[in-house]
Chains A and B, each alone.
Chain A
């Protein structure tokens, strides 16, 4: 029972972390129906940005947020302007291949620039564990989990309460009608990419004290981020939140109680089962 409780608390915290990683993917997908296969590579780049700020400038990872997040907003914006914009009218396969190419471009650029070495922070390496309901959780993970909840809340408010947010929703629902109403769809898309990439960068900065930095670290998160988005529901931002928590729980509770070796198998077995019963995802609306 105690083990179950520990696994469940860890599962929820980890699920929130996964959700924060998946947030941007879900958002970009929701606004413009583009699948960004290179999503986790931006996480990798954000980890490197935080690392270099720390290694060269002795910038504390907590203080890296105001530097790295706006920088990656710009990077997302640029990705849209330079690449994605030209794919809007292209078939789905073209979009997939283009972002797949982007994945390799970013990953091997990192290899070329930073080498294959695994890096981490030496002195910030001592993140103390905090107690959550009696379960020790590493501080960076707990912070990332809380920020994750806040980010989902803030994004929901932004979409509902601000003019720009409503404009984004309008573009997501019907681009042509939105254009006719005078909404600059192109700028909205760029904004969506900016927000999407900035949010994954936020995850990267927060995770830095707990994770290693290497060009292939994206692999650890890519599948999980995709599964979170699909499991929660297509086109709804809060879907990633529900999906992420669900995956964190299944991975940790079933993994811990049954067999950790098969934890990813459990995750994807539950994934397939849920999609068989509810093809629209846990919170998605039937199409």
Chain B
């Protein structure tokens, strides 16, 4: 038999229930506020297709929080020496995780949950550019600082957001690396004036080609050729006959791995190689390339956001990686390094804010100035421009030497000297 509940009784019950919920929430919030911790929310893909990367990022961020929370006097990282945040009475960072499941809508909902229910003072996230875009929208609407360490879409910092900060480089910065390297090489006495682009003709290649063209103009290089082809090509003979005739000093490539072997073979067939061949991550950083191209694949240069190899010249990197490996059983990779650095930057800002008011943290972020020596990244430091983009975010260049990827630029942190110009085929 069913109990019939009168409307009045129903309203009484549900009113009491809602009241209790609200009160409980308030109480929880008040209790949390009284604990000697600072809640920071992190939104990442912890389940789903990207769960593996999400788990690695989580390790990196947790290690960063641990270094802040416990004394590590041997590390020259921000906030490593003391316990907790000194300017907030040594309060500790408490991470609260939100699972985006790799989905932009879920990412935004999780960001809102962390802000409203968990009362986080700032957010960090969210790996994929698409999720970062939506999750940071929630933070912007609520006036909570959002720090993004690792999304690479240039658009993210072009939205005019006031609460959004990105420590890592974006896709345009990566192309800039090629030109900065060329400038450095010119300072060493190399003559580089002519640049050509060889790219596949869809979104990836065509966009990269356009960006390279723009930089060539800004840096005053002579763009002598821009060749696009359909991948996979049956032949690249026409492209390289023309490129060889245009005689560029440097070729910038945006190519897929399936095109790489023909690029190498055709260059060798024509017994020609420019001073330098620099490529976007498309092919040269994939181990398959080393296997497939063999010795002929040597001397190509590629961009990378970070590499463990810089630890040879920057002992801090090796020391942090040791900590990481002891804790998680594997080496850091470039995504982990970027997430780790982003978390330290955020903690540094909260500390300088001297409190947990969002506006104070926002102001502290804007005034961030962390020198490169205190970072595990190959950057000159962290300082944000008016759009919230770290002005010094950069990457490094690796060259395939002796069958391995070696960091060759920036020169100060190189693990091997760059081979420039690449030797001609008959002297390899």
- Residues of A at under 8 Å CB distance from B? 3, 6-7, 10-11, 14, 18, 117-123, 125-127, 129, 136-138, 141, 210-212, 214, 216-217, 219-221, 224, 251-252, 255-256, 260-261, 263-264
Contact = CB atoms under 8 A, between A and B. Distances in A.
B269 A251 contact: no
A118 B269 contact: no
Interface string B223-257: 00011111011110111011001000000000001
Closest 8 CB pairs of A and B: A255-B238, A120-B292, A212-B261, A138-B269, A122-B294, A220-B234, A125-B294, A260-B239
Contacts of B294: 120-123, 125-126
A118 B265 contact: no
Interface string B278-299: 0000000000110111111000
B188 interface: no
Contacts of B292: 118-122, 125, 212
B268 interface: yes
B258 A216 contact: yes
A131 to B, nearest CB: 10
A210 B242 contact: no
A126 B257 contact: no
Which interface class (under 10, 10 to 19, 20 to 34, 35 or more) fits B?
Answer: 35 or more
Nearest to B240: A260
A10 B291 contact: no
Contacts, number: 113
A39 to B, nearest CB: 14
B213 to A, nearest CB: 13
A263 B238 CA distance: 8
B261 A141 contact: no
Contacts of A118: 257-258, 260-261, 288-289, 292
A251 B238 CA distance: 7
A214 B258 CA distance: 7
Nearest to A257: B242
B261 A120 contact: yes
B234 A18 contact: yes
A251 B201 CA distance: 17
B268 A10 contact: no
A222 B128 CA distance: 36
Nearest to B291: A122
A264 B235 CA distance: 11
A10 B237 CA distance: 7
SS of B interface (majority):
helix
Contacts of B239: 255, 260
B295 A125 contact: yes
Contact of A251 (B226, B235, B291): B235
Given A3-B245, A122-B291, A260 B229 contact: yes
Contacts of A121: 292, 294
Interface of B: 201, 226-230, 232-235, 237-239, 241-242, 245, 257-258, 260-262, 265-266, 268-271, 288-289, 291-296
Contacts of A18: 234
Contacts of A123: 294
A220 B234 CA distance: 5
Contacts of B271: 129, 136
B269 A137 contact: yes
Contacts of B269: 127, 129, 136-138, 141, 210
Nearest to B201: A261
Contacts of A137: 269
17 contacts: A10-B241, A18-B234, A117-B288, A119-B288, A119-B291, A120-B261, A121-B292, A121-B294, A123-B294, A125-B265, A125-B295, A127-B265, A129-B270, A221-B234, A256-B245, A261-B229, A263-B238
A264 B115 CA distance: 54
A217 B262 CA distance: 12
Contact of B232 (A14, A138, A216): A216
Contacts of B266: 138
B241 A224 contact: no
Nearest to A21: B234
Given A219-B232, A261-B201, A252 B261 contact: no
A10 B233 CA distance: 15
Given A220-B232, A256-B242, 17 more contacts: A3-B241, A14-B237, A120-B261, A120-B293, A121-B292, A129-B271, A212-B261, A216-B258, A217-B258, A220-B233, A224-B234, A251-B238, A252-B235, A252-B238, A252-B241, A256-B245, A260-B227
Contacts of A141: 269
A14 B271 CA distance: 18
Contacts of B293: 120, 125
Contact of B241 (A212, A219, A256): A256
Nearest to A264: B230
Given A122-B291, A216-B232, A211 B261 contact: yes
A210 B296 CA distance: 12
For B239, B257, B261, B293, which residue has the most chain A Cβ atoms within 10 angstroms?
B261
Nearest to B233: A220
Contacts of A212: 232, 257-258, 260-262, 292
A127 B269 CA distance: 8
B268 A138 contact: yes
B261 to A, nearest CB: 4
